[in-house]
Amino acid sequence: MSTSLWDAPIWQDSGTWIVLGISLLFLVVGAIMHRTIMKVVRTPPPPDSAPPENQPPR
């Protein structure tokens, strides 16, 4: 008698699918956040404007 892992009772449990779905969601959100942060980090800084000479530094 050969049984497959796909026939195991854990795959019929709704909690298993919820946990797998949330894990996949975290991976997708993490990848999107990583791409966004890297895009922001790679953009060149804006040109600095010269501070007014009459005001003392803060």
Q: pLDDT at position 5, please?
A: 82
pLDDT score for 50: 62
> Residue 2 — pLDDT band, cuts 50, 70, 90?
low
Domain boundaries, the chain: 15-42
Left if phi > 0, otherwise alpha if psi is -120 to 50, otherwise beta: which for 46? beta
- pTM of the full predicted structure? 0.63
Identify the H or E element spanning 54: none
DSSP E strand boundaries for the chain: none
Question: Residue written as tokens 């946990």?
Answer: 19
Residue with tokens 């003392």: 56
pLDDT digits (tens, 9 = 90+) for 12-49: 899 999 999 999 999 999 999 999 999 999 998 888 76
- Token pair for 14: 């709704």
Question: Per-residue pLDDT for 1 more than 60?
Answer: no
CB 16 within 8 A of CB 10: yes
The pLDDT assigned to 7 comes to 86
